[in-house]
Amino acid sequence: MKFNTAFLRRSAAAVIGAALMTGSVHAFAKPTECIAPAKPGGGYDLTCRLAANSLQETGLIDQPMMVSYMPGGIGAVAYNHVNGVRKDDPNLIVAASTGAAVNLALGKFGQYDADEVRWLGALGVDYGAIVVKADAPWQNLKELAQDLKTQPGKIVFGAGGTVGSQDWMKAALTAKAADVSPRDLRYVAFEGGGESLAALLGEHIHVFTGDLSELRPHLDSGKVRVLAALAEERVGGPYADIPTAAEQGYDVQWPIWRGYYMGPDVSDEAYNTWVERLKELAGTEQFAEMRDARGLFPMERYGDNFDTYVKEMVVQFKELAKEVGLTQ
Amino acid sequence: MFDFLIQGFDVALSPMNLGLAFLGALLGTLFGALPGIGPINGIAILMPLAYTLGLPAESALILLAGVYTGAEYGGRMSSILLNVPGDAGAVMTTLDGHPLAKKGLAGPALGLSAVSSFVGATIAIIGLTLFAPLLAEVAVMFGPAEFFALMVFAFASMSVMMGNDPIKTGIGAVLGVLIAMVGVDSGTGVMRYTFGMAELYDGIDFVVMIIGLFAISEILLMLEHAHGKNANQEMPPLGRVMVSAKELLYCKWAMLRSGVIGFIVGVLPGTGASVAGAVTYTTEKRLSDKHNTFGTGDMRGLAAPEAGNNASAAGSFVPMLTLGIPGSGTTAVLLGALMLYNITPGPMLFTERPEVAGGLIASLYIGNLVLLALNLPLAGLFAKTLTMPRWVLVPGIAILAFVGVYQLHSDLMAIYLMLIVGVFGYALRKLGFSLAPVILGYVLGGLMEDNLRRALSISGGEVGILWDSAISICLWIAAAMLLVLPWLLSRAFSRKSPVTA
């Protein structure tokens, strides 16, 4: 008897608990979700959290956005998941960046190509940078390029990605601009920007092809010199003194946009709702603050404009990859 | 000179920050104790929370650092009690920790490991306070070639674990290296052993490896015995709950040595708690295992890796605070937290934002005390887990394993992989292999290959770079001595003994 009452009490609690849970599920009928195709803590996490926090804070979504992680193949697992399973989910956006475009171009996302998904928009951008140690012999990009041309094997580049990754692309494009074949480039792949920077400070490598925002803490330390920002035009704020590569006569740009895509079969209605939502978000003061805090620069590309932008980028990368022998 | 520290204690001792240090320590212990959730996930979960709560920078950092150091404490629990490492740093803790629990000494083992953790962390925090800027300069001198030599040294020191069955240890290590090969090649981006499956591009995850190898194989072993004669023979009754002063003194050198070594390993960028645990355990075995008791429940074999992994956690703050370069995956996430607050780590941090640098270091001292106070009395409580009957324990471990792996990847493939690795681990254990060499081969092998490839791409294929610097030459000599000395010594002794006899 005693057992029975205890049992009854427990099952009653369980029933009430379950009811409460379904109730709450019901109240949040359609929460929005952002998939970060990586482990927590990286750039994709940051991209999702930027959307989640700023949309919430500006009141553009009424329920908190869920951020879920789907690491694997630098985004390939998530890309396949969205193309295969959640093709038409109107509440799902997935974080992407220039790196995703590079991998699409190299065919690393499996059977799916860049025109499969619906590219939604970008909320911010970072730029590549050419960095040397403060006591390095090169004062500007020109001096580095000239030395590179006379003795390509003597200058060691390093960064946080493999050969064929976007960090390598920055080095390869710089070499190309200096009339040096990317195949002659000496390049070392580290695990992330931090390790590469340590190797630069320890003089194990000579040139680090990193990103501007990750250099922010090091600008005033006097330990490194940024030879060029790979941006369309000079970036303001603490980076105002850094010349672009184009200014120095080398047409190299490497924007690292941070944006989102949606499933291939998402309705135009849902897609346009999201486009409008992002546009409105980008116009707010709060958003600008949050974007700056994350070291991102403004970028205004949404909807079809962004879709074409990404697809063109992928086509460009495909050509480059063929040229330097990464793909056939 | 220590103005920043005085100011730091001022900051850290404010009621709110004390509360946050306590909360961080508590949550961290919990994250560490749950297999699958390590310090990185814990911090990544709490970071946005701290930011949205509007905590000032130093308070947020105090909370997150508490989680980090707490996780290194917590990882040991399931290692000792269940033979399942709670996080990466606690793999070596299973080797002597679990045998101790089997002897009925779970309480003292938990107590001893809490004290070792405390000693290791304290040594490292003092080191951080005194030598941080100096050490940072030395740390960057470690390039790929030096890291390769360090890994050779680590593999050489693994030879002490060969014990009775050198061939099986060797095979185990090689299997681990092979598993580490799966995935995108870090140098060229070429896929290796991925069979076209995107899920394998990133290789086999560390958490999948340790949970599969240890937890799943443990479950399978328990199931196998479930219907045997010994089905009802549970763990021996719990003996004492507290660790005795005599036992602590017995381990004092193991703790002190491992604290120093763990700190040095932690300072080096790119090596974390798992390497620290491995190096300290093998060093201690080499130095003090005179009667071949390591691996059967020797207290020193438990004290060493626990002091080591906690010391490395504090050590990894050195390059982060002084150079703005993370020394481990976890400090990389912490660095991201600093950037959110617009704080510039580097040598200027100590002069420009002394309340942040000092507050963090002071909170490490305080958090460490809190953790000891929290973990010692709880030892007895947690030790009771072992009195749970099998029919509760096995599903419990299984749930933790499945949830831990799934929350990390939100992907069923990871679960399948974990099960495959688990069956593989079960087979190895049935064949009399020890799992530690496999996991060490996996961790060290990956690092070794990456750094060899990096060194060679720096030199353009010139092998000479590997012994080009004083640091690498020292490491090579040390590695050679590790391999040759015992053999020479034993020859010398065996020649002497007939004479004396």
Q: Which domains does chain A have, with CATH numbers?
A: 32-125+256-323 (3.40.190.150), 126-255 (3.40.190.10)
Closest CA to A171 of A297, A319, A324: A324
Best residue in A184, A187, A221, A296 for a mutation probing chain B (most B CBs within 10 Å): A221
* pLDDT the model gives residue A7: 43
Name the residue facing A41 among B40, B196, B340 (closest C-beta).
B40
Beta carbons of A69 and B410 less than 8 Å apart: yes
Tell me the mean pLDDT in the region A90-116.
Answer: 87
A119 torsion bin: left (phi>0), alpha (psi -120 to 50), beta (else) = beta
CA of B38 to nearest chain A CA: how many angstroms apart?
12
Question: What are the C-alpha distances in Å from A272 to residues A176, A276, A309, B72?
Answer: 40, 6, 17, 47
Q: Which two tokens stand for residue A307?
A: 């879709």
Q: Do A60 and A277 meet the contact criterion of CB atoms below 8 Å apart?
A: yes
CA distances from B82 to A213, B113, B125, B460 (A): 44, 15, 30, 48
Nearest to B333 by CA among B22, B24, B46: B46
Q: Are B5 and B358 in contact (CB under 8 A)?
A: yes
**Among the ranges given (A258-272, A296-310, B264-278), the one the predictor scored with the smallest mean pLDDT:** B264-278
Residue A124 has pLDDT above 90, yes or no: yes
User: Phi, psi at residue B368, to the nearest 5°?
Assistant: -65, -40
Q: What is the pLDDT of residue B493?
A: 64
For residue A153, give the nearest of B409, B450, B460 by CB distance: B460
Average pLDDT over residues A210-219: 84
Which is it for strands A92-97 and A33-36: parallel, antiparallel or unpaired?
parallel
Q: What is the pLDDT of residue A91?
A: 92
Total number of domains in chain B: 1
CA distance A147 to A72: 39
The pLDDT value given to residue B486: 67
| Contact status of B49 with chain A (Cβ, < 8 Å) | no
More confident residue, A306 or B38: A306
In chain A, what is the straight-line distance between the N-terminal and C-terminal CA atoms, in Å?
77
3-state secondary structure of A157: strand
Is B104 in contact with B403 (CB distance < 8 Å)?
no
What burial letters (b/e) apply to A264-283, b meaning 16+ CB within 10 Å? eebeeebbeebbebbeebbe
CA nearest A153 in B: which residue?
B460
B 250-269 near A (Cβ less than 8 A): 269
Whether residue B325 and residue A198 make contact (CB cut-off 8 A), yes or no, is yes
The reported pLDDT for the residue numbered A24 is 38
Q: What is the mean pLDDT of chain A?
A: 85
Q: Please tell me what DSSP assigns to residue B236.
A: P
Is the distance from CB of B354 to CB of B321 less than 8 angstroms? no
Euclidean distance between CA atoms B316 and B263, whole angstroms: 8
pLDDT tens digits, B243-266: 888 888 899 999 999 999 999 888
- In a mutational test of the B interface, the residue from A45, A48, A195 whose CB has the highest number of chain B CBs within 10 Å is A195
Q: What sign does the CA torsion over B488, B92, B62, B46 have?
A: positive
Q: Which residues contact A288 (CB under 8 A, 6 or more apart)?
A: A298
- What the block records as the tokens of B86 is 């709670």
Please spell the DSSP secondary structure of B398-444, one letter per residue: HHHHHHHHHHHH--HHHHHHHHHHHHHHHHHHHTT--HHHHHHHHHH
What average pLDDT does this structure show over A17-36?
Answer: 57
Extract the tokens encoding A230.
Answer: 């790979």
The residue behind tokens 């060290």 is B444
Evaluate if residue A39 carries a pLDDT over 80. no
Residue B392: both structure tokens together: 């509760």
Say if strands A92-97 and A66-69 run parallel, antiparallel, or are unpaired.
unpaired
* B323 closest CB neighbour out of A106, A201, A295: A201
Q: Which residues of A are less than 8 Å from B145 in CB distance?
A: 204
Q: Provide the residue range defining the domain that includes B65.
A: 3-500
pLDDT: is B417 or A294 the higher one? B417
Q: How would residue A19 be classed by pLDDT, with cut points 50, 70 and 90?
A: very low
Task: Name the CA radius of gyration of chain B, rounded.
Answer: 22
Query: What is the CB-side half-sphere exposure of residue B308 using CA atoms within 13 A?
Result: 33
CA pair distance A75, A24, nearest whole angstrom: 32
Q: How far is A25 from chain B, CA to nearest CA, in Å? A: 20
Distance, in Å, from the CA atom of B181 to the CA atom of B169, rounded to the nearest integer, reads 19
Cβ contacts of B27 within 8 Å, gap of 6 or more: B42, B46, B66, B67, B70
Q: Which residues pair with A95 in a beta bridge?
A: A260
Q: What is the pLDDT of residue A200?
A: 92
Q: What pLDDT, on the 0 to 100 scale, is given for residue B143?
A: 87
Phi, psi (degrees; rounded to nearest 5) at A29: -55, -50
Please tell me which of the candidates B44, B198, B454 has its beta carbon nearest to residue A41: B44
Judge whether B319 is closer than 8 Å to chain A, CB to CB: yes
Distance CA B25, CA B21 (A): 6
The SS3 call for residue B201 is coil
Structure tokens at B48: 């946005």
Which phi-psi region, left, alpha or beta, contains residue B82 (left: φ > 0; alpha: ψ -120 to 50)? alpha
pLDDT tens digits along A184-206: 889 999 887 778 888 898 899 99
- Per mean pLDDT, which range of A82-96, A162-176, B401-415, B456-470 is the poorest? B401-415
Q: Which residues of chain B have pLDDT under 70?
A: 1-2, 35-36, 159-164, 227-239, 270, 327, 344, 346-348, 385-386, 486, 490, 493-501
Cβ atoms A255, A232 nearer than 8 A: yes
Q: Note whether B201 and B189 are within 8 A (CB).
A: no
Q: Nearest by CB to B340, which of A187, A188, A293?
A: A293
Supply the DSSP symbol for A158. E
> How many Å separate Cα A237 from the centre of its chain?
21
Long-range contacts of B43-51 (CB under 8 A, 24+ apart): B43/A41, B43/B67, B43/B68, B43/B330, B43/B333, B43/B334, B43/B337, B44/A40, B44/A41, B44/A45, B44/B333, B45/A40, B47/B333, B47/B336, B47/B337, B47/B340, B48/A49, B48/A53, B50/B337, B51/B337, B51/B340
| CB environment A167-197: b (16+ within 10 A), e (fewer) | bbbbbbbbbbbbebebeebbbbbbbbbbbbb
